[in-house]
Amino acid sequence: MADSKTSIPRLSLATLGLARVGTAGFSYDRRRLRPRVVHLGLGAFFRAHGALFTEDVLADQGGDWGVTGASLRRPDQRNRLTPQDCLYTTVENGSNSQKARIVGCLLNVLVGPENPAALLDRLSDGETAIVTLTVTEKGYCHDPASGRLNADHPEIRHDLEHPDAPQSAVGLVTSALARRNAAGLPPFTVATCDNLPSNGVLLAQLVYEFASLRDDALAAWIERTVPFPSSMVDRIVPAEAPGDLSAVERLTGLHDAAPVMHEPFRQWVLEDRFVDGVRPPWERAGVQFVSDVGPFERAKLRMLNGSHSALAYLGSLAGYETIFDAVSDELFARFIKRFWRDEVIPILPAPPGLDLGQYADQLFERYRNPAIRHRLRQIAMDGSQKVPPRLLSTVRDNLKQKRAFKLVALAVAGWMRYISGTDETGAAIDVRDPLAVCLRERIDSAGTDPAAQVRALATVEAVFGKDLPGNEAFMTAVTEAYEALRRAGARQATATWVEAGDPHLSPGARNGG
């Protein structure tokens, strides 16, 4: 099929052979694949991460591990992928290299809101052995501060009333498990791949709570039989940007409506708990199976995602567009290195075999990849869900150990400043957050006094819990930082904060850069 505007052939099974030399493809027999993995939340991240680990297994030793993708919101991915037989191109963008690869393990895409019954049927089918998820933090319909299910969430309420047409990931997983139980089938393994602390434990708890609202016997069966392995996943995958489609056309000679661009680095650390041990031999593709993901996940969430969120708020306010742009400014480079060295690394237990100082250096190099245009706006989204696990967890651990947390406090204040809705030039900020309306009302009701604005936001319990608004050290640190951001702007405030000496820095602390 040719694209009408460009007359470049559209990627599909029929045109695969036309791909330019240098484009990697697949040589396994795709007709053998069965839909044994269902992935909820088919976005760029999964297609450049989980799907590629499975693709590598197929390339290495064949097998039948095919993937069904499911979109729980919009039909865009299905609309783009189906006309090209669900094939897509991944482009690995290194600092000085580009590698294109056409991926074959995705077999079809279902769209939950259009046809919840079809998605439920697929999940309930005995052939489905593993359900993986990347539905983003807000997709868990939970209270980020307490980790409990938000039973008032409109999707949760809907799913309780309509168990045959669930909308939420928690509702879908529970209804499908209920059907399997009723049919005498074994459960599937539920492997969440979202950036949440103890993500498997959290999802198990949410599904259990939800199932208990339906039927105690079902909840007990789930608790007894369904494994929810925790994981740490990592790869920087920017959202599609203008120019990506034409770049892929130039590389492969084929028109792909759904390519994904990503960095070379990837990591997946996973607990080896699967129903009957059934899973692809992902270790062949580099997945690290460990008994306790906790230290890996905490290091990644607080060092990578924490610094991402800090840069997203402070960097956007300072006028930068991407992570690369922000860390190319010597000031923000110093900020981020001190953030790691002084406030995050000292309170983190190092995962086995990982030197956290080296990990910080490696993260910095990844951020300095000029070929990755990772937009701060993309990372800034959904701060009410991201700030608690990425930044407030670090605040709490520093408080416990009576250590300073000035730079983390500046990042939290940066979020508060960002969601006020106007930037330093007076231009509107497009704040995207499930709590946007509530946060806006809080700020508006506080008037113009910065300290009152901080108090109004810090008392949103779903974000700050019950403890932090009553903690004087926390409130003082965030209020001072917020006032400085208002008074001097993000760049100047960051400069002052970075310059300030840190009396709590232990003499042996490693120099992060």
Residues that bind ligand CS2 (CB under 6 A): 195, 234-236, 304-305, 308, 378-379, 386
Least Cβ distance, residue 381 to ligand CS2 (angstroms)? 7
Cβ proximity to ligand CS2, 175 vs 199, nearer residue: 199
Report the residue closest to ligand CS2, judged by CB: 308
Catalogue the long-range contacts made by 488-492 (C-beta closer than 8 Å, 24 or more residues apart).
489/317, 489/318, 489/424, 490/314, 490/315, 490/317, 490/318, 490/414, 490/417, 490/424, 491/318, 491/331
Cβ proximity to ligand CS2, 362 vs 378, nearer residue: 378
Distance set, CA 75 to CA 72, 78, 86, 119, 162 (Å): 9, 5, 13, 13, 21
Cβ proximity to ligand CS2, 26 vs 265, nearer residue: 265
Q: Is the CB of residue 50 less than 8 Å from the CB of residue 193?
A: yes
* Angle formed at CA 226 by CA 288 and CA 125, multiple of 5 degrees: 100
Structure tokens at 511: 């120099």
Least Cβ distance, residue 430 to ligand CS2 (angstroms)? 15
Least Cβ distance, residue 369 to ligand CS2 (angstroms)? 12
Cβ proximity to ligand CS2, 70 vs 196, nearer residue: 196
Cβ proximity to ligand CS2, 15 vs 309, nearer residue: 309
Distance set, CA 54 to CA 123, 161, 185, 221 (Å): 19, 36, 25, 29
Least Cβ distance, residue 304 to ligand CS2 (angstroms)? 6
Cβ proximity to ligand CS2, 179 vs 377, nearer residue: 377
Distance from chain centroid for Cα 132: 13
Distance from chain centroid for Cα 439: 22
Coil, helix or strand at residue 414: helix
Question: In sequence order, which residues have a C-beta less than 8 Å from that of residue 164 and are 6 or more positions away?
Answer: 116, 117, 120, 175
State the Cα–Cα distance between residues 248 and 237, nearest whole angstrom. Answer: 15
What sections of 233-355 are H helices per DSSP? 244-252, 294-299, 306-317, 323-328, 330-338
State the Cα–Cα distance between residues 175 and 177, nearest whole angstrom. Answer: 5
Least Cβ distance, residue 265 to ligand CS2 (angstroms)? 9
Least Cβ distance, residue 301 to ligand CS2 (angstroms)? 8
Cβ proximity to ligand CS2, 54 vs 195, nearer residue: 195
Least Cβ distance, residue 269 to ligand CS2 (angstroms)? 12
Question: In sequence order, which residues have a C-beta less than 8 Å from that of residue 280 and are 6 or more positions away?
Answer: 37, 53, 54, 57, 63, 65
Residue located via tokens 């001190």: 338
Cβ proximity to ligand CS2, 98 vs 378, nearer residue: 378
Least Cβ distance, residue 331 to ligand CS2 (angstroms)? 21
Least Cβ distance, residue 429 to ligand CS2 (angstroms)? 16
State the Cα–Cα distance between residues 235 and 512, nearest whole angstrom. Answer: 21
Nearest CA to 180 out of 143, 134, 131 is that of 131
Least Cβ distance, residue 136 to ligand CS2 (angstroms)? 9
Distance from chain centroid for Cα 141: 15
Cβ proximity to ligand CS2, 132 vs 195, nearer residue: 195
Cβ proximity to ligand CS2, 175 vs 305, nearer residue: 305
